[in-house]
Each structure stands twice: as C-alpha cells, then as structure tokens.
Structure 1
Amino acid sequence: MTRELHHDSAQCAYPGEGNLVAGSSIALEPRRPRWLRLVAIAAITAVTGVVVFAGYWAIRLITNVDSFDLSAGGHRSEVTADDRTDRLQFLVLGSDTRSGPNSDHGSEDDSEGYGQSDVMMLVDISEDNTDVNVLSFPRDLLVDIPPCTDMQSGQHFDARSDAMINSAMRDAGPGCAVDTVNALTGLEVDHFMLADFHAVTELSNAVGGVEVCVTKAIDEPKSGLKLPAGTSSVQGEQALAFLRARAAFGDGGDLGRIQAQQAFLGSLARKMNDEGTLRNPQRVLAIADAVTRNLTVDKGLASVPALVTIADRLKDIDPADVKFISVPTAPAADPNRLVLDGVSAPQLFSALRASADLTAPASASASVGDTEDDLPDVEERAPRGATDSVIASAPVTLADGTAGGDVPPMLVETLRDAGFDGTQYLPAPSTPITAIYYSAGFADTATTVAATLGIPITTLAADDSIYGVQVYLGMDARGGVETLNSRDMTAAIDQTADQVSCQDTNPFG
C-alpha cells in the first residue's frame, strides 16, 4: 500500500523559506577555537585565584598581628616620618612574657604586667638605606623611666629613677619603652616591633636555621644551650637559647650576650641576603606568617602595606652597611648593673641625632647668615640682624648639666665678651645631651648664641616653657664644646653584619 504524502498549508513552499536561511547564516559564522576558550577560562580563573590568594594572605597576616600605641604619653613631634623615603628608627623588643605558647618557658608568674624586654635594639635606617645602625641596650642598664600611661587601661605610672631599662615596658606597655629610649637618646622612634619567645623559634625554623660559632663547646643548663665548638646551625629552641644565654658568653654578663645576639642577627642577615629570601614572595609569606603570629607592633605598622614597605626597604640593604653598636656603659655601684658612660654615650647619641652616617662630618656651626630653612620652625621670628642693644638685653641662661665640668664658666665669659651682657649661670641636673632651647621670638638670638659658642645648629630646639635662650650643657660637652662637632664614631661599632665572628665562651659558665 502506497503511503500518500499530505502537504500542510504551513509547509515551506520552496527551499530557503522559513528558518533555512537563518540556519544557514548561523552555520556560516566562524567558530571560536577551543584553545582560545580554554585560555580565557584559565585567565579568569588565574586572576580570581590571585585576588582570592592575596586577600586571604592580607587578612591572615593582619589578623596575626597585635597592635599597641607607639607612645605612653611622651612628647612627640607633629611630623610623621614617611616609611618609604625618610630616615627611619624603630625599636625592636624581645618580651619575656610566658603567656600563651610561651608557657613552655615558665609560668605567667615569672613575668609581670606586659613583661620585660630580654632584648632591646634601636634600628636606625638612613634615607637612602646605605647606613643602618643597630644599637643594643643592655637589659641591666640603669636609666630614668619617664611617667607613662597605659593607653589601654588608662592607668598612670609615675616616673622611676635608676630603674633597669628592661622594665620600661612592664607597667604601661611597649610605648613606655619607646618614650624611655626617646628621652635617653634625644632621638624619636618611629615604630616598634615586640616579639616573644615563640617568634624566634618560628623565624629560625622558617629560614631553615642560622649559623653561629663558639670557641669552645657550650652546655649551659639555665638556657638549655648545647653547642659543640666551632660552627653550628641553630633553629627552634636552640636558636632561642643562643639569644637568651647569658652565662655562656664573655664574662657571663649582659655585654657578652649582646655580642652573641649581634653575631646571630648578622648571620641571619647574610643568609637572607645570599639566598635572596626577601625577593622570593613564597618565602617572604612563610616568614611573615611565622613572625606575625607572635608579633606586636605600633598602630602605624599594623597593616599589610606598612609591613611590606618596611620589608621592601630592608631587601636591598647590604649586610656590610649594617653596623652593630653596644650603647657605651660603665659599671654601676651595684656590680650587677650598668650605667651610661658619661662621655662616650652622649657623644654617640649626639652623632646619631645629626646623621645615621657615623663617619660624616658634623653639621656646620650655626651662624648669623644661616637661612630660615636651616632653623627649626617657630611661630614667631625675631628680625634678622639683631642690634647690639638687642643682644645685650637678651635673656640668656647657661645651665650646667655637665656634672662637674670646667667648661661652663668659660662659656659664660665667652657670651658676655660677645655682647650678651645679661648671661646668667645656673647649676642644673646632669644631662647626657647638650641643647640650646629658645622661646618664641628668640630663634635668631639662639642662632647667634650657637654661632658664638661654636655649637652645631642641630642642637637648637623650640621650647616655650622657658623665656629667652637657655644653653643646657650636657655631659657630652665636658671635654669642650668642640667635641660636639666630632663626628667619627666608628670606634663605637662592634661589628658589621657581613663579618663572621666566633663567640668567646665563658670558662665559668
């Protein structure tokens, strides 16, 4: 039986009618190559992965870090340093706190308040990164700790005299240690980093160990340090023991331990420089993760960009440019304590206030012809070219803080001979630092006084708590004001980070 074909009235009347042409045009469009679609998908996936990865690490690192106020109420200038380009100073503190993961090193009863600083180092980086000074403060150093306020609780603590410097952060936190170092040196710390015991073990593990050298085998029970004679690689608990061991080095005092700490940091710097660690993003992240989990910084550093900026400045520093310096000290009345050396320490601090380059010549002494840009900013300025009558009537005081120096009376006569008829002599508490203070309207008079005495212009500072000009001579001028212009402090340098040193062991340790 033949099947009949029935034509629907809606059926196409001729080829090409209906969807045929449209279908043909679709078929004629060029197809995208499969590889191009795969590349596009891969690119989108990669970009998404990078964003997610970066976001993950940014959140992880910033949540790792604790932050605290930079100051505990001490005076600070209003100008904030640019971490990218300015000279930068930050205080590195090693806490002896036993809380949390540090409980393996004792109970919380072994440390008070915010803990004490087992390590205190001031890192000073020049604007061009070519000069880096690392000043170590012995923890047994007796200093005056200024009044401090715990910015978290609001509790105020009175000033303390002849206190061990390692106790500065105990009551009011690391900001009080910053204020103490500022007052002691005349510098102004820009940031601080506070690390605990666990930070050392984690960092040394993250870099795969740090090489150290000792002249004789060490077995020091208190710290747990055990090393054979010669060179060894330490990490974890042994790295921490090397940094904390006191009886093992030198004469068993804090100065021997400081030299061992300097050698450890120099070895760490060489290793990170030789292996290009700070140029390897993966290793940087591993180290950053290990360190930040045990790190407290000031609020100005408590962000990933801020920490990256510091790392970026450190990555190009030559270890030969890193100079380790022990703050000059002398024995105190208590044989177990130290005090600042009355001559060398003020000279070092004065040199550092002028420049991070300890071999540079001193700034030229002030002169009447100096420009306004060379002088500290003041709200009111006296007219240039003060007349003899103005000089004669200028209120000038010479405060003697030299602790018995012979120089002040001679300087009083020098000023009077120069026309400052009203110069007065005033006995004052000893101070390590010479400075010339002036109140509003007396900047030019202060400049003339500095030029007359041959004192560097860098010593000038505005201070409206006085009236007129006050030359406050410190112990750094006991040998004469010409010593304030002496700038070569290379003798103060213990070692540089490119030098390999072997630590003398304490035969009685």
Structure 2
Amino acid sequence: MRRRDARPEGTGTAGISVARHGEDAEGTPRHMNVPKGLPLWLKIVTGVVSVALVAGVAFAAFWFIRLQSNITKAPLTAGESRDTSATVVNDKSDRLQILILGSDTRDGKNSQYGSAEDSTGYGHSDVMMLLDISADNKRVSVMSFPRDLLVDVPQCTDHTTNQTYPARRGVMINEAMAEAGIGCAVDTVNKLTGLEIDHFMMADFNAVKELSKAVGGVDVCVSDPVFDPDSGLRLAKGNSLVEGEQALAFLRTRHAFGDGGDLGRIKGQQAFLSSLTRKLKADGTLGNPQRLLQIADVVTQNLTVDEGLADVPSLLTIGGRLKDIDVSKVAFVAVPTQPAAVDINRLELVEPQASQLFAALQADLDLTTPGATSSPTATPTGSATESPSGTPTTAPPAAPAYNKAIQPVAVANGTGVSSRAQEIMAVLTGDGFTQSVSYLANPVEQTVVYYGSGFADVATDVATLLGIPAAQVQEAPGVSGVQLYMGTDFGTGTKYGSASVPSDVVNQTANDAVCQQVNPLYITQ
C-alpha cells in the first residue's frame, strides 16, 4: 500500500512536472541557463566586443613591452648647465627641441663599417642636427652642424663613471661626446647656440638601413652617375630609390657631393630627410598607428634617448605632432661656416650670420620667412610703439629738412664681430644715407648714437631707423656729424633689441626635391 501523499518524484497533484531545488521545469540547473530576455544579435555583439577588447589589450601590451624593452637611455646633460628651475617641457604642447645624433661606433651590428679602434669611448657624432618643433605644430626647422666645426666644449662629467673632463677649446664638434657621453654633445650645442635642448635621439648605422627598408625605400637624385669606394655609394644619374646599404652610403659619403667637403655631405643628408618626410606625409604613415608601431619597432632597436623620452608614449607623441605638418614649413638649414683660420681643413662660424641665426631660433621665428623680426625686448622711447597685434610699428617720420645723401654718418663697430658693421651700413645706405662709413672700434656694452652741433635731427632719424631708444641718443661736441657706436647689445639683426631671420639661411624645405651635384672626381660611367 502506498501512502496518500506518496507521488511519483517530480509530479504534482495534477500531473504537472515540478522542478527539484536548483532545476528548471526541464531538470536543467538554473545557473547554466542563458538569460532569455536578451535577443540573439545582442548576445553575439557582446561576445565579439569582449573578444575584441581582450585582443586589443593584449596587442597594446605586447607592443608596449616590446618597444619599451628596445629603448636604451642616457642622461640628457653632462654638467650643471641646465636651468633646473625652468618649467619642465610638455612634449605634447610646448615648443620642442631635440638633438638628433648619428653615432659612428663600430661595435655589434656596425662592426662591418670598421674596427672598434675607429671610434673611441662613446664614439663620435657622425651626424648632428637640431630638430625644432613649434608649439603650434605648424613649423619645423632642422639645423645641421658640420662635424668639422671647431667649437668650445664645456666641462663634462660622465655620469656612468663619475669622471669629469675639463673644458676644451677649438675642438671638432663631433668629438664632444667621445669622452663623457651624449650629454656632453647636448651641453656643447646649448653653449654654442644659446638654446636649451629638451631631448636627444642617437641612432647608429643599422638604424638608417632598417628605417629605409621599413618605409619601402627613399627617393634621391644625383646630377651624374656616381661611385664612392669609401662609402660604397653607386647610383645612376637622376632619380633612384635607395634602401638598406645604399641608403646608408648616401648619408655617409664624405666625398661624392659638392666639393667633397662636409657641407656637400650635409646637403645630401638634408635632401634625403626631405624626401623621407614627403614620403611619410604622402603615405599617411605618421597618422597610421600600425605603420607607426612597425617603424618605431625598427628604430627603437637601434636608438638611444634621454630619460625624458625613454618611454613609448613620449616617442609616439613626437610622431603624432608631426603628422599634419605642412612640408613647405619644414626648413633645413646649416650653421653658417667658413674655413677656419687655424686650419683650412676645419670650419668655424661666420659672423654675424651665425649669431643672427641663433638669435632667430631663440626668438622662435619662422626661418622660411627671410627678414621676419621679433618684437624688441624693450620699446624704444620716442621711436617705436607696439600695435594691438603685438607687432612693433614705427610712426612715419616727417620729411627731413636736409639731404640724407650728404650727411656724414659713421658706424663705429664695437660689437666684437668684425663684419657686423656691413649689415648696418646696408640699412643706412638703403635709406638714403649714402655717405656712411664704418670702422672697427673698441668693444662696448651699450649702443649709443652720438651727434655734433646741428645734427640732432639726423641722429634722431638714424636712431629711429634702427630702433634705438631716444635715451641712447646723445650730443657729443667732439663728433663731426653723426656717429653710431654699436655695442655688444646690438650684435644681431637690423633692429635694436630684436632678432631677424637672415636671408638665404634655408638650404631647402621638405617640399623641395633637390638633385645633388656630384663631385667631378667621383663621376663614373
């Protein structure tokens, strides 16, 4: 006999199936059921997005770790020259100055280009360029320093060994980093130019080869068929696509272009970089994260940077800032030089052109606009005023009650720069003071316009023309006519207290496709 309440397991009073604890009506555990309120398409999309997110995080982590492990870093400076009180530069939005170096070390992958004895210590800087990016990302200047340029190297300390090396005078600029490291090259360029470099990047020979391969080659042009047995460069006349060894040879050759000197080599390097810039711009590489990562992977394996750039986001930030640049505003310049007086096989700065270029860079002027000037450091009393736009303006003077062409105006050059008076003389004669003369004078600190009896109006007009404050115009009984005594405070530019862009300072822009003139001694058939 069965009890009245004994029913078949799982069966209700009316024969309806009843779930056991933890099961649905069909006996399936509830925790294994998919929510029935979501449509199928949403379930699929949710799954795909989840997989994509996981893959994306894994991809980003892979590249971050890979690139980060590639990076080699070194101290930015080798002394106490940097102003530690200055605000740290914002790589994303501030004006940025990066020293680009090419190392001639022959170890590791570079051993095929010579023995270890060919480069000592940290090696020499085979290439030295200063990359200057404007804060608004609308202008870039690339200034090249010839490796044979004689400069003064400040005292430098090797932060690896803590050994301090004394200052040196009149040594080739490519030797600056040989003893104390890359930071000493940075300090040397800061001392030479009056600038404050924010970062550096140093690449070796292998970096050039691999980069040229990664972008699919770079277009270059030569005026004649050329062969340089030292570098291995061999090209037919006209345009060629170079990559790998030939790309490196094009950049390394010291004899094939121009007169066989370092200036011809610099022009070849600038032409190569101009072509590379155009290609990256046309291909949209800098705006393509995948392509940018591939190139970054190649470059970082052969790159040394300062601590401030020693992370992946910082490096990618630099590339991102350059992606929308107008190639006609990428200016390639070279420091003005001439054969050195102590050794014609070396180079020295040409003045006042070099100081004018450095002053224009310090003032952040557009080098592609010759004659562009900065606002004076102080508004000259009684002569110039400042317009609402910030551009200095000078009220047009009344017609002079004298003949400019017969006024005796002398320029006493006390700037310490022997050729400085020539530039000011050109301004004076161009304004009608055709009787102007110049001579060297003892150096003084402040510029003053002196005048003799009856020449006050002429002195005022000379001061106004050059933007010299009225407080620096003085009567001097011993002066016949007008004397402009130029001091060290007027060492550059044609307006007192302002900087200007020298004429013909730009070798080419990235918009120019320039064919290199082959040294006749290296033309081959």
Q: Shared topology, TM-score over 0.5?
A: yes
Q: Report the alpha carbon displacement of residue 10 of structure 1 after superposing the two structures with TM.
A: 4.4
Q: Report the alpha carbon displacement of residue 408 of structure 1 after superposing the two structures with TM.
A: 5.6
Contact in 1 for aligned 2:327/2:510 (Cα 8 Å): yes
Contact in 1 for aligned 2:73/2:310 (Cα 8 Å): yes
Task: Report the AA paired with residue 23 of structure 1.
Answer: A
In structure 1, what is the Cα distance between the partners aligned to 2:139 and 2:87?
22
Contact in 2 for aligned 1:84/1:313 (Cα 8 Å): yes
- Give 1:64's aligned residue: 70
TM-score by length of 2: 0.75
Contact in 2 for aligned 1:95/1:118 (Cα 8 Å): yes
Deviations 1:243-263 (A, max 9, x none): 000110000000001000010
- Report the CA distance shift for 1:80/1:31 in structure 2 as closer, same or farther (over 3 A): closer
Q: Report the alpha carbon displacement of residue 402 of structure 1 after superposing the two structures with TM.
A: 3.9
- Report the CA distance shift for 1:22/1:92 in structure 2 as closer, same or farther (over 3 A): closer
Task: Report the AA paired with residue 440 of structure 2.
Answer: D
- Report the CA distance shift for 1:234/1:93 in structure 2 as closer, same or farther (over 3 A): same
Q: Does 1:498 align with 2:511?
A: yes
- Give 1:345's aligned residue: 354
Q: Does 1:278 align with 2:259?
A: no
Match of 2:373 among 346, 357, 361: 361
- Give 1:385's aligned residue: none
Contact in 2 for aligned 1:347/1:484 (Cα 8 Å): no
- Report the CA distance shift for 1:286/1:29 in structure 2 as closer, same or farther (over 3 A): closer
How does 1:163-178 map onto structure 2 within 5 Å?
A: 163-178=171-186
Contact in 1 for aligned 2:418/2:440 (Cα 8 Å): no
- Give 1:49's aligned residue: 55
TM-score by length of 1: 0.77
Q: Does 1:9 align with 2:6?
A: yes
Uncovered stretches (5+) of structure 2, i.e. residues with no partner: 387-413, 420-438, 452-467, 474-485
- State the SS of the aligned residue for 1:272: helix
Match of 2:190 among 182, 186, 209: 182
Match of 2:220 among 212, 226, 246: 212
Contact in 1 for aligned 2:380/2:469 (Cα 8 Å): no
Q: Report the alpha carbon displacement of residue 356 of structure 1 after superposing the two structures with TM.
A: 3.3
- Give 1:315's aligned residue: 323
- Give 1:23's aligned residue: 25
* Count of aligned positions: 431
- Give 2:125's aligned residue: 117
Q: Report the alpha carbon displacement of residue 79 of structure 1 after superposing the two structures with TM.
A: 2.1
- Give 2:491's aligned residue: 476
Contact in 2 for aligned 1:125/1:356 (Cα 8 Å): no
In structure 1, what is the Cα distance between the partners aligned to 2:163 and 2:447?
48
- Give 1:227's aligned residue: 235
- Report the CA distance shift for 1:122/1:17 in structure 2 as closer, same or farther (over 3 A): closer
Q: Does 1:241 align with 2:254?
A: no
In structure 1, what is the Cα distance between the partners aligned to 2:254 and 2:146?
11
Deviations 1:416-447 (A, max 9, x none): 99xxxxxxxxxxxxxxxxxxxxxxxxxxxxxx
Contact in 1 for aligned 2:444/2:487 (Cα 8 Å): no
In structure 1, what is the Cα distance between the partners aligned to 2:319 and 2:91?
11
Deviations 1:32-64 (A, max 9, x none): 555544433322111011001101101111111
Task: Report the AA paired with residue 144 of structure 1.
Answer: D
- State the SS of the aligned residue for 1:79: coil
Deviations 1:338-360 (A, max 9, x none): 00002210111111111231333
- State the SS of the aligned residue for 1:252: coil
- Give 2:95's aligned residue: 87
In structure 2, what is the Cα distance between the partners aligned to 1:123 and 1:201?
21
- Give 1:329's aligned residue: 337
Deviations 1:254-304 (A, max 9, x none): 000100001000000000101111112221111000001000011101111
CA RMSD of aligned residues (A): 3.2
Contact in 2 for aligned 1:195/1:295 (Cα 8 Å): yes
In structure 2, what is the Cα distance between the partners aligned to 1:344 and 1:502?
26
| Greater shift in the superposed pair: 278-287 or 242-251 | 278-287
- Give 1:391's aligned residue: none
In structure 2, what is the Cα distance between the partners aligned to 1:488 and 1:289?
38
- Give 1:421's aligned residue: none
Task: Report the AA paired with residue 507 of structure 2.
Answer: D
Task: Report the AA paired with residue 321 of structure 1.
Answer: K
Q: Does 1:406 align with 2:415?
A: no
| Greater shift in the superposed pair: 260-269 or 357-366 | 357-366
- Report the CA distance shift for 1:250/1:282 in structure 2 as closer, same or farther (over 3 A): same
Q: Report the alpha carbon displacement of residue 162 of structure 1 after superposing the two structures with TM.
A: 0.6
Uncovered stretches (5+) of structure 1, i.e. residues with no partner: 372-398, 418-448, 455-470
**Larger fraction in helix:** 1
- State the SS of the aligned residue for 2:260: coil
- Report the CA distance shift for 1:15/1:82 in structure 2 as closer, same or farther (over 3 A): same
In structure 1, what is the Cα distance between the partners aligned to 2:365 and 2:205?
30
- Give 2:168's aligned residue: 160
- Give 1:294's aligned residue: 302
Contact in 1 for aligned 2:376/2:496 (Cα 8 Å): no
- Report the CA distance shift for 1:475/1:62 in structure 2 as closer, same or farther (over 3 A): farther
- State the SS of the aligned residue for 1:494: strand
How does 1:445-456 map onto structure 2 within 5 Å?
A: 452=471
- Report the CA distance shift for 1:129/1:18 in structure 2 as closer, same or farther (over 3 A): closer
Match of 2:107 among 92, 99, 106: 99
Q: Does 1:250 align with 2:258?
A: yes
Deviations 1:466-509 (A, max 9, x none): xxxxx9827935xx974763513241111111101110000113
Q: Does 1:508 align with 2:521?
A: yes
In structure 2, what is the Cα distance between the partners aligned to 1:450 and 1:66?
52
Q: Report the alpha carbon displacement of residue 410 of structure 1 after superposing the two structures with TM.
A: 7.3
- State the SS of the aligned residue for 1:9: coil
Contact in 2 for aligned 1:320/1:496 (Cα 8 Å): yes
Task: Report the AA paired with residue 366 of structure 1.
Answer: A
